[in-house]
Structure formats: C-alpha cells, structure tokens
Amino acid sequence: MPEIRQLDRHTAELIAAGEVVERPASVAKELLENAIDAGASAVVVELENGGLTYLRITDNGCGMTPEQLPVAFLRHATSKLRTAEDLAAIGTLGFRGEALAAISAVSRVDIYSRTPGGLEGAMLHLEGGVPGAVEAAGCPEGTTICVRDLFYNTPARMKFMKKDTAEATAVANVVTHLALSHPDISFKLLRDGQETLHTPGDGQLLSAVYAALGRDFAKSLMPIHGAGGDVTAQGFITVPLAGHGTRARQIFFVNGRLVKSQLLQAALEEAYRNRLLKGKYPGCVIHVTMPRDMVDVNVHPAKTVVKFAAEKAVFDAVYYTVKDALDAENRPAAPAQRQDFYRTMTAEEYRAAAAEQAKKPLGSYGGRSAALPLHDVAPTPGQTFTAPAPQGG
C-alpha cells in the first residue's frame, strides 16, 4: 500500500503557484491588478526577453510599510478581504492573497515600496519564495516590483514557454486590456527598452482605445450607453461596415474586470444579426456594470470567468443597448451625431492630451521608471537612488 504523506510546504507552494502563474503575462496581470487596487494613477511595465528574465512594474499607489512587505508575500495574506461574507461582494481586482506568494515562489523578486508621506521606503529580496531581510531604502512613493528569472526553479513549466515575442505579446495584451478597463490610469509599456504603448490616463475610454488599439479601430467605433434595471452597458462598438475576421476585438469588462463570457458575446452578436457581412464579427469595448453581489468572480484563480446571478438581465442590457445604438445609426439624423462624436477626439487632440500627460511626473520620480537600481546595483540602506537605466537581464 502506498504511503500517504502531506507535501512539504515548498512543493505545495510550487503546485499552487502553477495555477496563478502560468506565464509572464499572468505575472503582469496580477502585479498590475495590485497597482490598480493600490490606487495608482500611473503605471509603468518594463520587460525583457518576453518577461521571462525581467519584468518590472512601477506604480505610484499607496505603497506598503516596511512591516507589511514580508507579510504581503505570505500565502492567503491580503488587505482586501477580511471574512467569508466579504467574498459575496468583491470590490477589488485581487482578493485571494495568492499572487505575490505564487510569483515569488517561482522567481527572484525585488520589491521597493514607500507609503505617501513615509519618511523612508523599504526593500525586500526574495528568492524562490524565501525572503531576505527588509532593508531601508530611499525610493519613490508607491511600489516597484521586479520579477526576474521566472520559473528558474520549475524547469517543467519553463519548457512550455513560447518564443520571447509570443510571451511579450501576451504581456502587451494584458496591459492593453487593463488600460482599457481603467482609462483614468496612465499605462506605459516598454518592451526591451522600446515604448510600445502609452495611454494618457485622462479618464476617457476613447483616448485609451485610441492609444491601445490604434487609430483605425478607434475611428470605426460608435458609442453606446444603456441600462436595464441594475445592469448598465456602455462603451463603444464597431459600425456594421467595419466587421472583423475574428472575435479578438470583442472586449468586455464586468465591474472593471476583463471577462471571457459567451453570454456577453452572444448578446453582442445577436444585436448585429443581419447587419454584418457573412463571416464578419463585430468588435467592441463594453463596460458592463451591476451591483457587486450580482456577479461571482471567484470561479477560477485567473478570475476571468464570472457567474451572473441574473443572466437574462445581463444579456438584455447588452443586447438592447447595442441594438438601440445600431438602430439609431440607421435613422437619418444619426450620421451628423456621429460626426460630432468623432470630433471629440481628433488625432491632434489626442497627441496634445498624451503630450500633456507625459509632462506630468509619475509619482515623485519624474516619469522615469528607471530611477531605481536593478538588483546588481547593490542598494545601500538609506541611500537615495539616481540609478542608471536598465542594462538588460
């Protein structure tokens, strides 16, 4: 008879980490969600080699105290949930208290953090989940977390990684989706030193769409806004003539969270019935909102699957909002309105808004996320950094 044994802590942690941390993009998603939950208004993502060797996320959010730093990396440690009852109405992106524990279990992590008004920041290095000592560190307000050598201690997972470019693209998709879910936050992505995405964070969904999905897509959109009971749907849909070959541009958010939902997809496509050429799909960026207790986000560790308490109400809200907008589009007065809408954001205006945003300092470090040292620039406790730009790996 085989012996039944409880797994040691390290092995159990590696298994649990596998669910949350599948690839660099899942690391980026968790860390960006933390930045958003921390109330950041600007976030910078830097990655090298698809994020496998180097992924750094800098935010200007609420930061953590030196005492909190090591606690944040414990499993089931969270500031976002207290009791089981809280699970019924989750208002933050994170709540499982797993991400930092999982990420640090399979990589080398450096974290720097300072709370607003805090005299001094702190830094902590973790290697395979094992924390070093918390050290005082001069750093900007907010949090910088640098994840290196992902999966260095789980070769089985490493084997499944795609080419760097594929991993980098997956990270870019995560950043894009989060930028669209939070137009009030400026997101910047640097891929191997190149800026490939930068949203202005001016609170306008259309500016975020413009910056993240491109001018042509933004120009093919019309606005929608409607509600049925407690459920509202608003955002943008493609005009019927601008059908897409795939569903890749069907982007839905539920209470600010990107979701994959066949129900929402069906509601959208049903509203376009007989309006699109055969084989073409509508595109959209739609924010659906409803009372928190009408949606269960705790279905899967990745939190992209949700359950609706009232599926019909959700379907109807999206279906009728989209259908009404498309019907109105066919009425003679509509084209003029659309012209107005397009005029709300010309390319020049967008560039002006983006330039204005670029002038604003990111947190207290002048828009340069490179103001912190890499790990190989050994930080002396209490030092204020004016460090060089990243040199790779």
Ligand X SMILES: Nc1ncnc2c1ncn2[C@@H]1O[C@H](COP(=O)(O)OP(=O)(O)O)[C@@H](O)[C@H]1O
Nearer to Mg ion, 72 or 237 (CB): 72
Smallest separation, CB 100 to Mg ion (Å): 7
Nearer to ligand X, 97 or 131 (CB): 97
Smallest separation, CB 116 to ligand X (Å): 11
Give the Cβ contact number of residue 133 at 10 Å. 8
30 lines the binding site for ligand X (CB under 6 A): yes
Question: How many chain residues interact with Mg ion (CB under 5 A)?
Answer: 3
From ligand X, Mg ion, none, which one binds at residue 74 (CB under 5 to 8 Å depending on kind)? none
94 lines the binding site for Mg ion (CB under 5 A): yes
Nearer to ligand X, 16 or 328 (CB): 16
From Mg ion, ligand X, none, which one binds at residue 221 (CB under 5 to 8 Å depending on kind)? none
Smallest separation, CB 99 to Mg ion (Å): 4
Nearer to Mg ion, 99 or 190 (CB): 99
Smallest separation, CB 129 to ligand X (Å): 12
Nearer to ligand X, 78 or 154 (CB): 78
Query: In the block, which residue shows the tokens 């050290």?
Result: 135
Among 26, 34, 113, 154, contact with Mg ion (rule: CB under 5 A): 34
Nearer to Mg ion, 94 or 200 (CB): 94
Smallest separation, CB 277 to ligand X (Å): 43
Among 16, 62, 227, 263, contact with ligand X (rule: CB under 6 A): 62
Smallest separation, CB 280 to ligand X (Å): 39
Residues 69-88 close enough to bind ligand X by CB under 6 A: 72, 77-80
Among 45, 99, 146, 345, contact with Mg ion (rule: CB under 5 A): 99
From ligand X, Mg ion, none, which one binds at residue 46 (CB under 5 to 8 Å depending on kind)? none
Label the pairing between strands 284-289 and 250-254.
parallel
96 lines the binding site for ligand X (CB under 6 A): yes
Nearer to Mg ion, 34 or 115 (CB): 34
Smallest separation, CB 95 to ligand X (Å): 5
